[in-house]
Amino acid sequence: MNGDAVVDSDEAMGMQALHLLADKNVPNVKGNVDMTIGKAQALGWPVKLKVVPSGMLEQSLFFPPNTLRTLNDPLFDPAMSSLGLYHPAAFLEKARTMFYALEEEVSYKIPVIFVHGINGSARDFEAVLSNLDRTRFKPWFFHSPSGGDLNQMAQFFFNIFLSGSVIPADENIPIIIVAHRMGGLVVREAINKLDNDHKSKITFYVYPVWGISFCCGRREK
């Protein structure tokens, strides 16, 4: 509060007395506790916690806010992957859009959509990305909770990438999808949601390589 980037003992913004019961809180852990945030108050013990400043994310002119990321972003940390596996709802509180990109939108580049597997993230594709020709291709990521309902995740994928309502479809630009393990199931279910009219206008090629499925489609005139 005083601008020194350290939380001191007299800068606590919330406090709640907890009563642990041996039969109900065996590991001495109590959850679902709400603390009211109010005026600063002093703790009865010395505390000095350094405040790590959060970096400002580059904002896109075309994509939703906070969708431009780097592979070393905390959103792609193993802890977030585990959160998505065991607590999908909590994951979605932190990663609501489920769509992320490494660069600003460039219309002439071909989108390559990466879909991670169970307990995975965009970071799993680092080796593939290092060999991607970024002058011709733009990497996009479907970053979803792998513990979520498969059909629901497929619906999200369909809504974002295939429906044309979020990302406009261009018949002159192919779509390439790289899906790892369970991500391939999500993509397959999403493709199955296309109606017959759309299926007749899109040709898909799927190549399973090293547990990764490569899928590309082109809208035909």
Using alpha carbons, list the distances in angstroms from residue 21 to 16, 29, 102.
16, 10, 48
Q: Are residues 89 and 172 in the same domain?
A: yes
Whole-model pTM?
0.70
Same domain, 88 and 185: yes
**Cα–Cα dist 116/172, whole Å:** 27
* CATH for 183: 3.40.50
Number of domains into which the chain is organized:
2
How far apart are the C-alpha atoms of 25 and 23, rounded to whole Å? 6
On whether residue 111 sits in a domain, the answer given is yes
Residue 221: pLDDT over 60 = no
Is 101 domain-assigned? yes
185 is a domain residue: yes
Compute and round to an integer the Cα radius of gyration of the chain: 22
pLDDT higher than 90, residue 85: yes
Whether residue 7 is found in the same domain as residue 38: yes
**Rounded Cα distance, 10 and 140, in Å:** 45
Q: For residue 12, what is the DSSP state?
A: B
Identify the domain containing residue 193 by its residue range.
Answer: 74-219
| Average per-residue pLDDT for the chain | 84
